[in-house]
Structure 1
Amino acid sequence: MSHERTLTDADVQAIAAALEKSIADRFVRKAGMGVLTLAWRGFVLAIILLAGYYMAHGGSR
């Protein structure tokens, strides 16, 4: 039973389009998470620096 299966050009194009969309979606999702992580770290750093500044300069006046 050696039935050979072949793909049409439309099949290949559909597979390539699905792969391209999957790769692009994954890239955008990971890039977005990277940006959010960077923003969160910047926010936390700003809070820590602000707290250190107020502690060094007397806090409440």
Structure 2
Amino acid sequence: MVGKLVRVGFNAIEIHGYLVEFTDYDLVLEFPVPVPNEEPGVVNINKGFRWVLARDGITYVLEEVD
């Protein structure tokens, strides 16, 4: 699903963004506009245009379809 618009359940929130990459430990999402963040387990990079999420907080990743 790399490059696709996805919906991610993380902690107690739902996030919509483009999947950039993933590893065994984290998942990177990109947004068209900067998104502020106060969530534990998330690191903002590129001035909020990208989030790196710890995979242990992710409950689901679903591809968004029209």
**Greater C-alpha radius of gyration:** 1
Greater percentage in strand: 2
Name the TM tier (shorter chain): under 0.3
Greater percentage in helix: 1
Structure with higher RCO (Cα < 8 A, 6+ apart): 2
